[in-house]
Structure 1
C-alpha cells in the first residue's frame, strides 16, 4: 500500500503546487484584476488537497525508508526540510496574505512584492519536489541512474 500511496501523494502535491504557480503566472500576465483575485482567493482552498498530500508523501516516505538515510533516499530526506520550511514559512503565509489583499482589491506594492516572493519560493519547491520524484523513479528502476 505504501508503494502506491507515496508516489500518488507526491505526484498530487507536485501537480497542485505547479497548478498554483502556473495559474498565478497566467492570471498576472492576463492583467485582469478579477482573474488575479479569483486565482489568489482560490489557492488557499487548494491547501485542503496539498497539505494532506504532502503529509502522506512524507509519512509514507519515512516508513518506506526503514530508517535508511544513505544514497538517493538520503538525498530525498535532505531536501524535505527545505520543502517543508519553504511551504510553512513562506508559501502558506504568502498565499493567505495575497488572498486577503486580492479579495479587498488591494493590488499595491506589497501585494506584488509578496507575489514575486511567492513565485520564487514556489519555483524552488517545484524544483525540489521534481528532484525528489526523479530520485524516486530512479530508486524504482523506472529511470536509469547515471554513473560518472
Structure 2
C-alpha cells in the first residue's frame, strides 16, 4: 500500500494534467481536427485514470487506518469533492464533448461545456496537488509550514 498509493496518485494527476493541457493546447491551435482528436481520445484515457483514482482512494483509506485528524483528515475531506467533480462533471463533459467532436459540431454548447470542463479539471488538479503535497509532508519529504 505504501508504494501503490503514491504511484497511483501520480498516475492520476499526470493523466488529468495531460487531459487538461492537451485540451488547452488543441483549443489554442484553432485546428478543429486536433480538437476533435483530443476530445475523442480523452474518454479512452479513462481506462487508465479511473483505476488509478480507485487505487489511490482505496490505498489512501487503508493507509489512514481510521485516522481523521491533521493532514490525513484534510486529504479525506477533499476526496468527496474530487470524486464528485469527476463523476458528476468531468466524465459527462468529456463524453458529451467527444460526441460533439465526433459529429463535427463545434457550436456554442460545445464551447460552454468545454469551459466548464477546463474549470472543473483545474479544480480537481488543484485538490489532487494539495493531497499530494500533504502526503509528501506526512512522509517528511516536504517541510511543514510553521503554525
TM-score (norm 2): 1.00
Q: Which runs of 5+ in 2 are unaligned?
A: none
Deviations 1:64-109 (A, max 9, x none): 0000010000000000000000000000000000000000000000
Q: Give structure 1 regions of 4+ aligned residues with deviation exceeding 2 angstroms.
A: none
1:54-133 aligned within 5 A: 54-133=53-132
Deviation, structure 1 residue 147: 1.3
1:5-24 aligned within 5 A: 5-24=4-23
Secondary structure, counterpart of 1:105 in structure 2: coil
Q: Which residue of 2 aligns with 1:140?
A: 139
The alignment of Structure 1 onto Structure 2 pairs a total of residues equal to 147
Deviation, structure 1 residue 111: 0.1
Q: Which runs of 5+ in 1 are unaligned?
A: none
CA distance in 1 between counterparts of 2:143 and 2:95 reads 40
Report whether the alignment pairs 1:35 with 2:40: no
Question: RMSD of aligned C-alpha atoms?
Answer: 0.3
Deviations 1:17-67 (A, max 9, x none): 000000000000000000000000000000000000000000000000000
Secondary structure, counterpart of 2:97 in structure 1: helix
Deviations 1:104-128 (A, max 9, x none): 0000000000000000000000000
